[in-house]
Structure 1
Amino acid sequence: MTPGQKDFPNCPVRKAMTLIGSKWKVLLLQSLRDGRLRYGELLRRLPDISEKMLIHELKELVAVGLVAKHAYPEIPPRVEYWLTESGQQALPVVDSIVVFGRQHL
Structure 2
Amino acid sequence: MSLPRAKLTRNFPGCPVEATLSFLDGKWKGVILFHLMGGTLRFNELRRKLPSVTQRMLTKQLRELEESGLVSRTVFPVVPPRVDYALTPLGTTLKPVINALAAWGEENVFCLPEGRHLRDVSAASGAPAIEA
* TM value normalised by structure 2: 0.72
Alignment of 1:72 with 2:69, yes or no, is no
% identical equivalent positions: 39
| Aligned residue runs from structure 1 range 1-105, under 5 A | 1=1, 9-104=13-108, 105=110
1:22: how far off?
2.5
Q: How far apart are the structure 2 equivalents of 1:22 and 1:102?
A: 21
Q: How far apart are the structure 2 equivalents of 1:74 and 1:88?
A: 28
One-letter amino acid of the counterpart of residue 16, structure 1: T
Q: How far apart are the structure 1 equivalents of 2:16 and 2:55?
A: 31
Stretches (4+) displaced over 3 A: none
One-letter amino acid of the counterpart of residue 89, structure 1: T
How many matched pairs?
Answer: 101
Moved more, 64-73 or 13-22: 13-22
Q: Which runs of 5+ in 2 are unaligned?
A: 6-11, 111-132
1:35: how far off?
1.1
Moved more, 41-50 or 22-31: 22-31
